Amino acid sequence: MATEAASGDAADELRSRTQRSILASQRAKEQGDGQQPGRLAQWFPLSAKDGFTQWWAGTSPMATEHRVLSFIPYLQKPPTQTQSGSAPASTTPSTADLTAPPKHAEEHTETTRLTDPYGPRRWNSEMVELGGRGRALNEFSVERMGEEVEDNLVMLHGYGAGLGFFYRNFEALSRANGWKVYALDLLGMGRSSRPAFRIHAKDKEGKIAEAEDWFIDALEEWRIKRGLERFTLLGHSLGGYLATAYALKYPGRLNKLILASPVGIPEDPHAVNDEMPSQPDASIAEELTMDAAQAADNVKPARGDNNNFLNQRSKADEAATKKDPPRRRLPGWLTFLWEANMVSPFSLVRWSGPLGPRLVSGWTSRRFSHLPEEEAQALHDYSYSLFRQRGSSEYALAFLLAPGAFARSPLIRRIQGVGRQWIEAHEDQAASVDGDQRPGKCDKTRSKTPSPPAVSAPTSATSHERQRENGVPVVLMYGEHDWMDVAGGFAAQEKIKQERARILAQASPEERRRDQGEAKVIIIGKAGHHVYLDGWEQFNSVMLEEMKDVRRRERAREA
């Protein structure tokens, strides 16, 4: 008994040391408590001692995801499947798994009307195996029990993140009657499997298409496994870019496309004309983010953001007033590393060993400083546990974005094709815009990634005549203090509007009635780049309204 008590005391001590709030020094400074932290502590508030402790503990992504999801209202015990495609980078991980879920896989948890005023609901965590070696997607889903699932919402996170970042959205969005909510970790990110990323194409267009296909082919294969005929797709940042690419390559599957602060819409001539990177050892990239503390305090940031080296503040305001095309704002050495595909921020976290948690705290302390300390700490732990995993699809980013975070194949050139594609298999084609004439088969396959089963046209299309989509509603959301330029959203809205006018110019009254090709831009107040987290209440309200709109449109379509 004495041994057990001593062991329990040791565990409590370790927990207190590893769970100490990384925001303590920053919040103390804001409140005027204690001494002013040094310059290093201001940028990297986690102490060297606490950083070493966290590195040595080696807390798994499974445990940290479980902890983040435990903040979901009415879900005190979230399900956490123990299978994971992630692999710890540390060679000396501790067996201690703080705040870990049960040792056995929990496939689902059910809430009742007694414990959940919006229940009963089933919360499920599962690893969905895909074809090919080492390909699987981590999935978290919520559905209302006792109701027929009529519509499905699929949520995709941004670069380097994971589905746990949506923890403030799951409960509210799953209140909608007849809806099932899915969140996925992109292939090679989060807790999804992390197969080696390779590019086989030799030409620029082929490399871009292959990098996009890496993600969107996996999403399509997951859709087929889940038996979803049509669904609403929400993508944040890089997830928004990929959601648009998916809509173009796999037409007829979406009833609405929602882009939350998407990357890659504006066009920059340097990004379009630059040489492509070499075969990756790694790619240099970082989540596209601003300082959330600024947004919470209603402080309008500059177009650039010193918290994000992809969009540095250097002369950004001055350049914004000029009519010249945007220029790269990165130093030459950083551009060289990007184009050479030599290093990534996650590589730095892995290589830095015990310093890794402290480096990550430089981002998380600012990104989550507007949140309660306990939630901010959980998100820091979650972020570090993901960042330190084996590199995989992080190496794809340099093939999609050029230095400065501009797309090599800008969405502003393609977004008008969303909802206007021919409903047929596009496996041999890049996510490009179909012409008015039905396209023929391509001569060669660009992508070497495992292809999902052949895509059949939705049941609304006849077997004798190929049909074209009649438009898909597109919603573009930006934060009030988003560093992602909302002008790109309005430009995309205009392109979609012009394409609709062109298509309907010669349409019949019935075709006009059935057309769904609309777009709108929504601003989330006091939010930065992470609109779903910074302005989660307004974001959830907007999403529920958009989901109601889907139900109205689907009923009209079925009538």
Residues annotated as catalytic are 237, 482, 529
CA distance 245 to 242: 5
Question: Of 269, 263, 221, 272, which Cα lies nearest the Cα of 242?
Answer: 263
Three-state secondary-structure class, residue 559: coil
Q: Report the 10 Å Cβ neighbour count for 20.
A: 17
- Beta strands 136-144; 401-402: pairing state: unpaired
CA distance 557 to 522: 25
| Residues facing residue 535 across a β-bridge | none
- Is residue 532 within 8 Å of residue 168, measured between CB atoms? yes
| Residues facing residue 129 across a β-bridge | 136
CA distance 303 to 326: 12
What tokens were used for 133? 């070696």
What tokens were used for 262? 């998407």
Three-state secondary-structure class, residue 250: coil
What burial letters (b/e) apply to 388-398, b meaning 16+ CB within 10 Å?
bbbbbbbbbbb
Taken in order 516, 521, 527, 531, the sign of the CA dihedral is positive
CA distance 265 to 375: 32
- Is residue 395 within 8 Å of residue 280, measured between CB atoms? yes
Question: Which amino acid does the sequence have at 64?
Answer: T
- Is residue 519 within 8 Å of residue 493, measured between CB atoms? yes
CA distance 296 to 46: 22
- Is residue 257 within 8 Å of residue 475, measured between CB atoms? yes
DSSP type of residue 287: -
CA distance 124 to 105: 11
DSSP class per residue in 387-434: HTSPPSGGGGHHHHEETTTEESS-GGGTGGGTT-SBSS--TTS-S---
Tally of helices (H runs) and strands (E runs) in the chain:
20, 11
What tokens were used for 518? 């609309």
- Is residue 167 within 8 Å of residue 75, measured between CB atoms? no
> For residue 443, with 0-12 CB atoms within 10 Å meaning exposed, 13-18 middle and 19 or more buried, which class applies?
exposed
